[in-house]
Structure 1
């Protein structure tokens, strides 16, 4: 249940970034297809963040320490670009135009996901009940 709520939170964050930034495009025509595309993109984004992002963090640990974590913005942008590339491979219809659009999109997605995921119960809370 928790993963479904996180998927929906990521889909909402990605949809907001798509709506706010002209450099992120969604080619679906009707509302049902747009929702399906955003859910698929959120699923890809979640998998990328679960598998690739920890590797990037480990490899770039010295840069992260030197920049006091600000390099995470670049890593988030790269995860968004990777998600865009994978969406293109699967012909999903969602695309990020460039690095700076990905930086802004990554910031939007990070903030919105953080706010929305604050309402998703933690694993430890489930165990206490």
Structure 2
């Protein structure tokens, strides 16, 4: 259970950094936007709402990586071998697009612009951040 929560936090952090670096990634909440429009209050609740939105998308991304990615990786094993593993970047980008599609049915919307390279660069950034954060002592059980 602890490693699942740590993985959600790492995914949320990685998504936040990727959306900060790349202008084509965006996470928005329709509920927070409506609350600000009604009350005019943007302090406190806005920051908590944004953090919760990134954690929520991190949960979706974690579930997609836990259940869908192994199947896609297995089915694409021949092309991954032919490309010497570089096709895994395309698989990670596809998982981001799947996360974006799933989140479109929730109050939190994770959007990627139509430019495919944005998803590829985001996949590289998220992978590097996840690898670095996974090496932090206490973030991973042995």
Report if TM-score (shorter chain) is over 0.5: yes
d(CA) in 2 for partners of 1:64 and 1:78?
14
Equivalence for 1:121: 140
* TM-score calculated relative to the size of structure 1: 0.90
| Higher Rg | 2
Equivalence for 1:102: 119
- Kindly report structure 1 stretches of 4+ aligned residues shifted beyond 6 Å: none
SS at match of 1:114: helix
SS at match of 2:17: helix
Measured after TM superposition, the shift of residue 8 of structure 1 is 0.5
Unaligned runs of 5+ in 2: 34-45
Contact 1:37–1:94, Cα closer than 8 Å, also in 2: no
* TM-score calculated relative to the size of structure 2: 0.82
- Please state if 1:111 is matched with 2:128: yes
Aligned pairs, how many?
A: 123
Unaligned runs of 5+ in 1: 125-129
Q: Which shifted more, 46-55 or 88-97?
A: 88-97
* Structure 1 residue corresponding to 2:90, chosen from 74, 88, 92: 74
Q: Which shifted more, 26-35 or 104-113?
A: 26-35
